[in-house]
Amino acid sequence: MSAKAVSCTIKSAVALQIGDAVSDSSRPGVYITDITLAEPVNIQEISFKNYYSAYLTVRLQRREDSSAKWVTCLRNYCLMSNPHAEAGSHDYFSIHRHQMLTEPDNVTTVRLILRQPSSEWLNFSIEEISIYPCAKEDLERDVPAWLSTLTPVEEPLDLNGLPDPETVSSSIQQMWALTEIMQASQTAASIGRFDVEGSYDVKLLSYT
């Protein structure tokens, strides 16, 4: 997404443990992190970098009318297919709007619940969290009132068996983008020379 991330405050993770956190020798298997947003946002995407978390549950607090309601938008999303093995442990992930169980609109707080059942790992967390809002909303706000009255309200088109113009235009846009890339780019064939103007007197290798 080219949209900029919203600013948010990420609170430090709280471990959920049975028993006394200090004296107990076993490590927690659940961490909870809250992220508060400056103003209510319609979320398009949440992206982050994993660090050894196996499963992720996301809960959102939405502002509905005057009350705030908590809903679960993602339940036990698997980040590491085998919690005991390294696969997925350092990967980057994106959760998109369409993957969520409920509409992430007017969100004020995001709660991330991280689970790691394996005893292999000393710590686990989620890093570099970014939340991206829906793009359309901003554009609508920027258009001044007198401009919006100039464009008439569109009537629903009578398609008569023709394909939906939205899907056609999006697929054409994709193909156009592809052709643009291919025309603009150089070929990948390499020249193949390793010397500099005919000389290749290498003395020592450099440590970078």
Partner 1 sequence: MIMMDESAELSVSITQIVQRLKGTHLHSQLEKQAKECLHKPEIKLETLKDDVRRFLKASGWERKLQNAVYRELHILPPPGHPRAPPEHTKEPLAYMRKAQVNWEKRILKSLNSMCTELGIPLARKRPVPEQKELTNKWNEMGTDEPDLSKFRPVYAPKDFLEVLVGLKNPNNERSEDLTVRSHWGLIQVSLNVRDIPQMREMYPELGITYGQLGIDDHTHVPPDLFESEHIHIGKKVESEQDSAAAQQYSRQGCPTGLRAQLWSLILNTSNDPEDITHYEQLKARVIHHDLLVDNLIYKDVKLTASNDDYYFVFEDYLYQVLLCFSRDTAVLEHFNYNCATPPKSCIQSKSGSEQCAVVYPPNGVIPFHGFSMYVAPLCFLYNEPSKLYSVFREMYIRYFFRLHSISSHPSGIVSLCLQFERLLQTHLPQLFYHLREIGAQPLRIAFKWIVRAFSGYLSTDQLLLLWDRILGYDSLEIVAVLAAAVFAFRSENLMEVTSLASAEAVLADLSTLKVMPLLQIFLFATSV
Where do contacts with partner 1 occur on this chain (CB under 8 A)? 47, 49, 51-52, 81-82, 84-87, 89-94, 96, 98-99, 119-124, 128, 174, 178, 181-182, 185, 187-190, 192-208
Identity of the residue, 72 or 89, whose beta carbon is nearer to partner 1 in the bound complex: 89
Residue 88: closest CA among 52, 139, 62, 130: 52
Query: Minimum Å distance from CB 187 to partner 1?
Result: 3
Q: Give CA–CA dist 72/60, Å, rounded.
A: 6
Identity of the residue, 145 or 196, whose beta carbon is nearer to partner 1 in the bound complex: 196
Q: Which amino acid is at 36?
A: T
- The conformation of residue 29, written as its DSSP 8-state character, comes to S
Identity of the residue, 39 or 120, whose beta carbon is nearer to partner 1 in the bound complex: 120
Query: Minimum Å distance from CB 165 to partner 1?
Result: 17
Helix (H) or strand (E) holding 147: helix 145-150
Helix (H) or strand (E) holding 134: none
Identity of the residue, 162 or 196, whose beta carbon is nearer to partner 1 in the bound complex: 196
Q: How many other CB atoms are found less than 10 A from the CB of residue 52? A: 21
Which tokens hold the place of 28?
Answer: 């927690």
Query: Minimum Å distance from CB 14 to partner 1?
Result: 20
